[in-house]
Structure 1
Amino acid sequence: MRTAYALAVAAAAGGIVAGPAATAWADSSAQATISQLQSQGYTVNIDRIGTGPMSKCVVTNVRNPQTVTQWVPYTGPGRGNNRTILVPVVTSQTISVSLDCSAH
């Protein structure tokens, strides 16, 4: 039962993380997309084509969301008989954003 619960929590967390990242760049400027991803807790790696200013860049791809989790013991309220369970805690998140900053 504990394993099933832990897997369900991990799957739910994965869905929450991947969902917003996939749509972050649909109708936004490059800087707005990067800022939005950073506000969601991502460290953003940028791949860039061209030397134009950021205001002229277009997001061409958002990919490779990586989430690193660590299993941490939890003992507290709501746990009958004070049993300890392991819960996943996100320790870092990275994502890659590709920009086209060439003059069109």
Structure 2
Amino acid sequence: MRTLGIVAAAVAALVSAAAGLAAADPRNPLDVIEQLELAGYTVTVDRIGNAPIQDCVVTGLRNPQQITVPAVVIGGAGGAGGHGGRDDGEVVDVVVHQSISVSLDCAR
């Protein structure tokens, strides 16, 4: 669960950093796309120009979207019988799909 939090924070930082870009992102587009995919995103790429993708520049990240569904978690750590003292369960949102668009300038 801690790893999920770290990945979520890294993606949030990546998305917010790209949203505030005044200039083009100097990172390799393939690295940016890979980071997002490793974080569980389905990545859509839009681009201007026809240079090879490794020669493009990331100009923005747009439309981060998450689809969640409620799920009941029963039990947990601690408490009598390993149920954390709760038998009624807890409702949490579970991410079932997330997507984002990456804009590239390939007109060099």
Q: TM-score scaled to structure 2, two decimals?
A: 0.71
Stretches of 4+ moved more than 2 A in 1? 15-27, 77-81
1:92 counterpart = 2:67: no
How many residues matched? 90
- TM-fit CA distance, 1:64: 1.1
Q: Could you say what secondary structure the match of 1:69 adopts?
A: strand
Range with bigger deviation, 88-97 or 18-27: 18-27
Q: Could you say what secondary structure the match of 1:80 adopts?
A: coil
- TM-fit CA distance, 1:79: 3.9
Name the structure 2 match of 1:22: 16
- TM-fit CA distance, 1:26: 4.3
Q: Distance in 2 between matches of 1:30 and 1:81?
A: 47
Q: Distance in 2 between matches of 1:59 and 1:36?
A: 13
Unpaired runs of 5+ residues, structure 2, are: 19-23, 77-82
Q: TM-score scaled to structure 1, two decimals?
A: 0.74
Question: How many percent of aligned residue pairs carry the same amino acid?
Answer: 41
